[in-house]
Structure 1
Amino acid sequence: MLQITCPWCGDRAESEFSCGGEADIVRPLDSDKLTDEQWGDYVFMRRNTRGLHKEQWFHGAGCRRWFNAERDTVTYQFIRTYPIGAAGDTHGTD
């Protein structure tokens, strides 16, 4: 079974986590002024990167916190995990 390192709880089974999609997506400041096409792009359009990718993960069966992870989408290997907003941290790797 795949192990994911929660920045707060340490190594846990993948079944304890949920992927929240691509990380570092910034919500538009004035969303009321967006066209339907612009809003659709924000909500639905993602990079779907092959290789190194930043994602949000939720530890639902543990501390119930969100964190970011860098993961290789080809090998599924997690390069590192870190708290959201702490991109310079190097909490755990697996």
Structure 2
Amino acid sequence: MLILECPYCGVACDETELSAGGEAHLKRFGPDSSEEDFEGYLFVRENPKGVHFERWRHSYGCGKWFHAARCTMTLEVFGTYSAQTFEPPKELSDKISAKRPGWSWRDFA
């Protein structure tokens, strides 16, 4: 079972209390964007084997969205953080690097 801690209310909750929201840190494009940019935003997603950043909602708790970093192979959770950030906190990136040397994901390595 996947256990994530909500960074807002501090509750450690299992996945049945949460709603998955897909990949975190997607670049959204405005109304003047090209059709290729919009298509990429809608349909192109990372699906890594390893560390992945995801959006989750504490549905049966405070109701807020947050981000989580976890390994898709082992379900190991590295941490959670506020959804109002543009990239993962440095402490979390350092924690992942310590356990998975050489990992990379987008511009956040």
TM tier relative to shorter chain: 0.7 to 0.9
Instruction: Tell me the CA shift for residue 71 of structure 1.
Output: 0.6
Residue of structure 2 in register with 1:39 after alignment? 38
Residue of structure 1 in register with 2:20 after alignment? 19
Q: Which runs of 4+ in 1 moved over 4 A?
A: none
Residue of structure 2 in register with 1:77 after alignment? 76
Calculate the TM-score normalised by the size of structure 2: 0.70
For residues 55 and 36 of structure 1, the distance between their equivalents in structure 2, rounded to whole angstroms, comes to 25
| Structure with greater contact order relative to length (CA < 8 Å, sep ≥ 6) | 1
Secondary structure of the 2:70 match is strand
Normalized per residue, which structure has more helix?
2
Structure 1's unaligned 5+ residue stretches are none
Calculate the TM-score normalised by the size of structure 1: 0.80
Instruction: Tell me the CA shift for residue 6 of structure 1.
Output: 1.0
Query: Quick one: percent identity of the two aligned structures?
Result: 36
Residue of structure 2 in register with 1:4 after alignment? 4
Instruction: Tell me the CA shift for residue 88 of structure 1.
Output: 4.4
RMSD: 1.8
Residue of structure 2 in register with 1:49 after alignment? 48
Aligned residues of 1:72 and 1:78 also touching (Cα < 8 A): yes
The one-letter amino acid paired with 2:55 is Q
Secondary structure of the 2:81 match is strand
Instruction: Tell me the CA shift for residue 34 of structure 1.
Output: 3.0
